[in-house]
Structure 1
Amino acid sequence: MLDIPSRVRVHVETLPAAQNDMGVCDAFEQYAPVGKPDAMNAPHPPKVAGIDSTVPSPAHTVAPAPAATGTPPAPSPNVQNPPETAPNAPSALLQDRLAGWVSDLTTLHELTERLTRTDALADALQELLRAGAALVGARRGLVVLEPGDGLGPHTTIGLGLDRSDLGHIETVPRGAMSYGQILDGAPGGEGGEVVHADLFAEDGLDPRHREVAVRLGYAASYALPLATDAAGRLGAAVWLYDEPAEPVERQRHLAGLYTRFAAEHLARLLEVERTRACVATIAEELLPSRLPRVAGVQLAALHRTGPRGGGDWYDALPLPDAALGLAVGSVTGSGPSAIAAMGRLRASLRAYAVMEGEDPVAVLSDLELLLRLTEPARSATALFAYCEPALRKITLAGAGHSPPLLVGERRTEFVETSVSAPLGMLACWEAPSVEFEAEAGETVLLYTDGLLHRTGDPMDRAFARLHSAAASVPRALRADPAAIADHVLRTVLPDGLDTADSDEDVVLLAARFE
């Protein structure tokens, strides 16, 4: 990573053990800034990320060489014996330089290790800001992610800056900011660093930039591009100083090495993020874009998919004779293949429902035959309900699926359904259907097993939690099926579990009968 001359490498074995054990100090572990910014321009080498070598610099280690005369220099009256290391001064100089290189390599190793442990784009950007701030001696900063291919995602993340601070910065004309100069290829920012050592001493500083800098309390900035040869421009990182300052050559070199490595890691995470977004978009497009309006019933649905995309689905479609078909199901597996199978299964069920929807058993029998012929290595669960809103009558059949939940003012109970294996598990599937009537104002809640699996509880406890959540729906929310579904989801999966990444999809379909 750093160019170490070959003539220096021979001295590695002669380093004392104390010089080899450089480590990283506590200040670096906490990502604390390395001293005051005004100390960075001092004549002595400044700290870099809090990991300065414990060996003094060569100027302090090696005594000045005597003049080349025939008379040896007179000994100092205060020194009884001359230093024994004087004849080895060149070796001490090389050891000092090598110790600094070892310290720098140790720093970069630890920083890159921390970065590679991040597996989310937002976490990696935060880690980049913290590590860069430690390397260049800054306290705050921001990173602007703006891929040059225009495919996104576009985001701005701050270190030591809240949303309002970032909002103020975004009010500054883009060309006046260092990240804008890098991203737009302005003079002085084409692919390289942009240094503003003293913003208020610069001629022609944009008035709005001056106002924002005073409001946020920064007086200098240092920016680096984020780019790779393969992916091109990804964005720019900017670090802000509280006082006029700029990083020295050693700090710039380390920050440049680190950001080049970070850009490669960010490019990989960016591809993963785009793939996840693409899979999620495909899954959403294969589900209903909107629910139909049918007299006598109100509909609402919630869908949560994992990062890899799953095979859970739902559907609601008007049928002849003012009837309504409701369906939920789940295909085994995850990823693009499961999503494709889910789309084929849902489309086929719609066709079967139109032809023979009044007989849910026949609908699922046809679906089982299709699955067995087209997806012999895959199984699925499904539940189809034929609803007559005018009579509030529901006829349903299920294949290995959890029973619906009936939620009303006077009762909250699971609908008793026949026990059946999932589709594709038997040579010939068939199970009896079940009929029941809903009272006025009651809601039938259909769901997939992912809602139960995400709890992490055994199935009996998960069912008990679901029943308790449905029974606890406030009276004021019972007239709105969307509010009922949202309350049940958040109660069964509290503390953000409903939105957390999971391999289990979740579907809730609520139908309230008037």
Structure 2
Amino acid sequence: MLDIPSRVRVHVETLLAAQNDMGVCDAFEQYAPVGKPDTMTAPHPSKVAGIDSAVPSPAQTVAPACATTGTAALTTGPGALLQDRLAGWVSDLTTLHELTERLVRTDNLPDALQELLRAGAALVGARRGLVVLEPADGLGPRRTVGLGLAQADLGHLETVPRGSLPYGELLDTPAGLPGGVAEIVRADLLAEDGLDPRHREVAARLGYAASYTLPLSSKAAGRLGAAMWLYDEPAEPVERMRHLVGLYARYATEHLARLLEVERTRACLRTMSEELLPSRLPRVSGVQLTARHRTGPRGGGDWYDALPLPDAALGLAVGSVTGSGPSAVAAMGRLRASLRAYAVMEGEDPVAVLSDLELLLRLTEPARCATALFAYCEPALRKITLAGAGHCPPLLIGERRTEFVETSVSAPLGMLACWEAPSVEVQAEEGETVLLYTDGLLQRTGEPVDRAFARLHAAAVAVPKAVRRDPEALIDHVLRAVLPDGLDTADSDEDVVLMAALFE
């Protein structure tokens, strides 16, 4: 029996089967010993043939047969060789486990693609690379992401005929054909006969002389794209590194497929939400209108509307339906369409409009409630009559005053057996803007409601005088001031709606 320490006493054939057939993390968790024993940590070799020394490499060196005589045979016997191999396998599994753990922590496609490029570059010893996302089902999204390559460099690569690039050859190969291309290695690109002249020119311009390309495909996900890593000098990864990066790419493909499905769902919800909102705001004499809408990844029920009414009047509405996802988006569309009908029939009485809307909501969707605000505007008189149902008060912004419009306290629609609240009249001055918004603007700040209102008021007060008569610039200033550092575009469960009406 071989004298093998208990830490590495693992059945060799079983470990090989696990490494080749199981998932990387599963194999590591089942067969790797607890902890990282010092006796199994292999030194990092110097870079050879493009292999990056930053990647742990097992000591799998086998002495020549002529050297295994006498004393040397005792030090390089079967037990020592087996320990070397086991140490190498455990080192490889440890590396892949760490890389896949970093990949699984990414929750969006751009971050996952960058992590894929960084991990692959470390495994194959490259410095630069790019991944082309091009799902075979044709539903998109299609994008190209580079590592160590500027946007201009990617543009240069796009001028090369697609068929002469390795990733083009992989992506243009029909998926599922027997004997399909598994990888493309070009160890000395510039020395190849028949290389496309444009490809040779771009390679010389970008300074790469070799490439290694893998498809991103699996049986479950299909073909999603291809990843290509570039070497500054002629080189290629050894067989061990190809095996490691192949295992990693297989796992990465499954992760990318999940993120791709999430992104497609989000894009579908955004499209639905945008289609249910006004494609453009009406042009009405005496008032300038503009709006901003930011929806969360799951889609929300916030909406806004502006519609011309009889007698040169204008109806403005904002509202929010409880919940998120497709059901909330659909409910928002139904509620907005109903409000438009009620506004045309009795828009001069905002209380009646909201009362009818509340009755409809209570009868058709009793499990849902909503907040809403409707304003009947007479631009010629700069007069506004409004009513709100549990909604945030409008903000009046002018050169001499910046204040919230005092509205009566009222319940959201669908919460009481019979909703009713008095209307409020506001007289705007020339050059003043009425800002309507949903509570998502306040909730995205992450602050208590009173502080969020104070932040909004301070942002409105700080609007530069030069842009106070420009509703586009004014609304953008308020949005950036209330939600700085990208909070307005970050993923959030809260929708944000702002609509500004500047009275001339």
* TM-score normalized with structure 1 length: 0.88
- 2:371 aligned with 1:363: no
Q: Is the 8 A contact 2:307 2:315 kept in 1?
A: yes
Q: Is the 8 A contact 2:282 2:307 kept in 1?
A: yes
Superposed, which structure 2 residues align to 1:74-113 within 5 Å? Answer: 82=71, 85=74, 89-113=77-101
Are residues 321 and 241 of structure 1, via their aligned partners in 2, closer, same or farther at CA, if it must alter by over 3 Å?
A: same
Residue 64 of structure 1: aligned partner = 67
SS at match of 2:290: strand
- Which of the residues 312, 316, 319 maps onto 2:306? 316
* Aligned alpha-carbon RMSD (Å): 2.7
Q: Is the 8 A contact 1:200 1:219 kept in 2?
A: yes
1:320 and 1:459 map into 2 onto residues whose CA distance is 38
- Out of 240-249 and 473-482, give the one that drifted further: 473-482
Residue 70 of structure 1: aligned partner = none
1:400-447, Cα deviation, whole Å (9 max, x unpaired)? 111111111211111111110111111110000001111111111100
- 2:269 aligned with 1:272: no
1:433-491, Cα deviation, whole Å (9 max, x unpaired)? 00111111111110001111111111111111111111221222122212111111011
- 2:268 aligned with 1:263: no
1:409 and 1:375 map into 2 onto residues whose CA distance is 43
Are residues 386 and 189 of structure 1, via their aligned partners in 2, closer, same or farther at CA, if it must alter by over 3 Å?
A: farther
Residue 134 of structure 1: aligned partner = 122
Residue 150 of structure 1: aligned partner = 138
Which amino acid letter does the alignment assign opposite residue 165 of structure 2?
M
Are residues 455 and 356 of structure 1, via their aligned partners in 2, closer, same or farther at CA, if it must alter by over 3 Å?
A: same
SS at match of 1:59: coil
TM-superposed deviation, 1:154: 0.6
- Which of the residues 198, 204, 213 maps onto 1:214? 204
2:235 and 2:245 map into 1 onto residues whose CA distance is 16
Which amino acid letter does the alignment assign opposite residue 250 of structure 1?
R
Q: Is the 8 A contact 2:301 2:323 kept in 1?
A: yes
Q: Is the 8 A contact 2:109 2:259 kept in 1?
A: yes
TM-superposed deviation, 1:14: 12
Are residues 184 and 4 of structure 1, via their aligned partners in 2, closer, same or farther at CA, if it must alter by over 3 Å?
A: farther
Superposed, which structure 2 residues align to 1:125-274 within 5 Å? Answer: 125-185=113-173, 190-274=180-264
- Which of the residues 310, 322, 346 maps onto 2:336? 346
Residue 22 of structure 1: aligned partner = 41
Q: Is the 8 A contact 1:234 1:267 kept in 2?
A: yes
How many equivalent pairs are there? 480
Are residues 51 and 180 of structure 1, via their aligned partners in 2, closer, same or farther at CA, if it must alter by over 3 Å?
A: same
TM-superposed deviation, 1:289: 0.8
TM-superposed deviation, 1:85: 3.3
Structure 1 stretches lacking a partner, 5+ long = 28-33, 67-72, 74-81
Residue 460 of structure 1: aligned partner = 450
Are residues 164 and 14 of structure 1, via their aligned partners in 2, closer, same or farther at CA, if it must alter by over 3 Å?
A: closer
Which amino acid letter does the alignment assign opposite residue 320 of structure 2?
S
2:297 and 2:35 map into 1 onto residues whose CA distance is 51
Are residues 475 and 277 of structure 1, via their aligned partners in 2, closer, same or farther at CA, if it must alter by over 3 Å?
A: same
Which amino acid letter does the alignment assign opposite residue 214 of structure 2?
L
Q: Is the 8 A contact 2:132 2:226 kept in 1?
A: yes
- Which of the residues 52, 60, 64 maps onto 2:57? 52
Which amino acid letter does the alignment assign opposite residue 374 of structure 2?
F
Which amino acid letter does the alignment assign opposite residue 374 of structure 1?
T
SS at match of 1:40: coil
Q: Is the 8 A contact 1:182 1:189 kept in 2?
A: no
Residue identity (%):
75
1:324-374, Cα deviation, whole Å (9 max, x unpaired)? 100000111111111111111111101111111110001001111111111
1:504 and 1:16 map into 2 onto residues whose CA distance is 43
- Which of the residues 490, 494, 504 maps onto 1:500? 490
1:211-251, Cα deviation, whole Å (9 max, x unpaired)? 22122111100000001213321100000001000111111
Structure 2 stretches lacking a partner, 5+ long = 1-10, 18-30
SS at match of 1:368: helix
Residue 471 of structure 1: aligned partner = 461
Q: Is the 8 A contact 2:32 2:90 kept in 1?
A: no
Residue 449 of structure 1: aligned partner = 439
TM-superposed deviation, 1:17: 8.3
Are residues 65 and 486 of structure 1, via their aligned partners in 2, closer, same or farther at CA, if it must alter by over 3 Å?
A: closer
Which amino acid letter does the alignment assign opposite residue 41 of structure 2?
M
* TM-score normalized with structure 2 length: 0.90
1:237 and 1:140 map into 2 onto residues whose CA distance is 11
Q: Is the 8 A contact 2:306 2:314 kept in 1?
A: yes
1:58-95, Cα deviation, whole Å (9 max, x unpaired)? 217x87345xxxxxx7xxxxxxxx57935x81222222
Q: Is the 8 A contact 1:15 1:95 kept in 2?
A: no
1:191 and 1:365 map into 2 onto residues whose CA distance is 66
- Out of 94-103 and 136-145, give the one that drifted further: 94-103
